[in-house]
Amino acid sequence: MFKLEVLVTLKKDVLDPQGKAIEIAAKNINLRNIYSVKQNKYFEVFVDKVPTQNKAKEIASKLSKSLLANEVIEDFKIIKCRKV
């Protein structure tokens, strides 16, 4: 089995309302040094019954394209892949 880590981030210039809400909340609780916050998604994907790392990456890439990321507004990146 392979464990892959997939990072899904908003594309540049796409509004991040959750990040904005955290920035405002930080000011409200007197954390005034917080300049900005961006919230992203981070997935741990376990791929089973594949022979090679490359095949696992290919499957995780398909999964990301179809389910994890909305490629209109988000980018995804497979940041790690290791055998477990």
Q: Exposed, middle or buried by CB within 10 Å (0-12, 13-18, 19+), for 7?
A: middle
Rounded to a whole number of angstroms, the minimum distance from the CB of residue 13 to a copy of itself is 15
Burial of 4 (C-beta count, 10 Å sphere; 0-12/13-18/19+):
buried
Least distance (Å) between residue 16 CB and a copy of itself: 10
Under rule CB under 8 A, which residues in 15-74 are in contact with a copy of itself? 19, 22, 25-26, 29, 31, 33-50, 56, 59, 62-63, 66-68
Residue 72 C-beta: closest distance to a copy of itself, Å: 18
Among 32, 40, 36, which Cα is nearest to 21's?
Answer: 36
What does residue 83 show for φ and ψ, rounded to 5 degrees? Answer: -75, 135
Binding site for a copy of itself (CB under 8 A): 1, 7, 19, 22, 25-26, 29, 31, 33-50, 56, 59, 62-63, 66-68
